[in-house]
Amino acid sequence: MAAHARDPEAGHLLSLAGRYAEFIAWMCQEADDERSALGWARTTASLARHVGSPDMEANAILRRSLLALYCDDGAATVELASAAAAFPAFPATRVRALLRLAQGHALSGDDLRCRRALDDAYNLLSSPSFSGPAAGPGTAVSHGSSPVPALSSVHDGAALGTTSGTAYAAGHGSGHYGTRHVADPAAMARGWCLQVLGHHDEALSLLGAEAQRIPAHAHRARARFEVRVVLAALGANDVDRACATLREVLTVAPGIDSATLRTDLRGCVRALSRHRRHPAVAELLPLVTSHASRRTSA
């Protein structure tokens, strides 16, 4: 259709094709078809360059960085997220790139660079480009330019609620890429990083509060982030809470055919195995192992 259309209709059609390609990449990822997901992400990037959309291209790179994250490849996650953050994309996209960068550094065990990326994300969330009327792409965010406090003190819960929760959800022209069910993606990413870096008590407090804010009908999002709560609880040696949360996850897991959830559950199996003598863990471990390894029926 675009080949036979005139401008600006041709550009609109190619932009629509790019959005569909990005969505297909996500569906391929959830179907555990990494090769196809990467192919469709590259198709998205190609269409984005054709129509001159740095925001769409940055989001295509973020799709690839998410695939790297779920392969526990911290170096590739950092490389791709850094590339996405360098694009003159919309503020919400640049925040997502910085949060992904923080996750990549956390996977690599780099506490300092993780804190810097989180600081940059929060600084952007509180900047005029987010709170002001302008919704267009801005300049790239510099990394590590401001003093870096301890990870436990980077923006308290009240600040998160007033900056990230409302501004991020608004999207500011980003086309609503990313989650729609997580009230505060920045807080959730910070909790994810805390858990990976071994700050389990603080991660448990933050992730637990944020998971409860996800709507009950958003089964996949709720299950995925409650698994992170389980991992933080196990790290904090709160096995009873971990098992109680895991039972909630298992009530919806059979109806969710999600490769990313299965990956999260496999990580949960490894963590649970260290507590296998606990009666509740002994009861749940076979069920979790089963859900982590099988796809649901069509």
pLDDT over 70 percentage in the chain: 81
- pLDDT value, residue 66: 96
**pLDDT at residue 180 in the model:** 73
pLDDT at 155: 42
pLDDT value for 127: 83
With helix as H, strand as E and coil as C, how does 52-117 read?
CCHHHHHHHHHHHHHHHHHCCCHHHHHHHHHHHHCCCCCHHHHHHHHHHHHHHHHHCCCHHHHHHH
Q: What is the pLDDT of residues 226-269, one digit of tens each?
A: 999 999 999 999 999 999 999 999 998 878 888 989 999 999 99
Distance, in Å, from the CA atom of 214 to the CA atom of 57, rounded to the nearest integer, reads 28
Cα→Cα distances 200→8, 72, 152, 197, Å: 52, 19, 11, 8
Residue 245 CA to residue 28 CA, distance in Å, equals: 28
pLDDT for 177: 66
Residues in the chain with pLDDT < 70?
129, 131-179, 294-298
Select from 123, 78, 69, 67 the least CA-distant residue to 102.
78
